[in-house]
Amino acid sequence: MTSHLIVSDLDGTLLDAGHDLAPATVATLRALVGQGHHLAFASGRHFRDMLAFRDRLGVPVHLISTNGAYLHDPDNGLLMARHLEPRIARQLIALERYATTRLNLYREQDWLIDAEAPELLALHAHTGFGYRVAEPHEFDGEGVGKVLYIGEPQRLAGLEATVRERHGEQLHVTYSTANSLEIMAGGVNKGTALAALLERLGLGRERCLAFGDNLNDTEMLALAGEAHVMANAHPELPGRVPRARRIGHHADGAVAARLCERFGV
């Protein structure tokens, strides 16, 4: 059988309503690796926040994390890292924002935040990885893969407009959810990381299946030979990747169902 690369977003795509891997999904992915296929997870999450899902599978999985800023192999080896220019990162850190908008920095080994946010700890509790409230001197802009603002969508829209006006193509600006404005260096996204992984594996894009649900999946889906958009996807996503196949809801295990259909698992 010809091997393929199967790459999937996590939240809202591969994970169920409880932000976990359903047993049927675990069984399906293990069976696909048994057939000789390659797996990759691609997420806005931090690399260390994704390890619990890979370890649960117990099979090799490449990890595209921080929206493509980092690419790790199945043995945690760092294959690629692309950081924001420190000068620009410091400008993003210094942007005026509402008191309820949380500033987050994703670096290679840690996740920094400007103040406590218990709701975020609860969301990530099952992975064993969470933020650390940073000391002022740690907001120096060095080694930052992503600047993340979390807050009310109407507040984030103002920040987004300011960032785009000041920095333009120097940055890649997207959303993972309506309340998460994510900013990476220009050209950093899940699609560019996926292209690097396909080259490393010696596979053409026609042998790649991708699954996603939000705007930060756009470039990844556009690159893949077989693109899939979830029924629960952001309303703008299907229009951005019009050739993508629409499948079911993430809470119903639609990714696993499609893979079983496609590969006869």
Q: Which residues are the active-site residues?
A: 9
Q: In the sheet where 78-81 sits, what is the strand order?
A: 78-81, 70-72, 62-65, 38-42, 5-8, 208-212, 226-229, 245-246
Q: How far apart are CA 72 and CA 15, in angstroms?
A: 20
Q: What is the spatial distance between Cα 265 and Cα 258, in angstroms, rounded to a whole number?
A: 10
Beta bridge partners of 185: 171
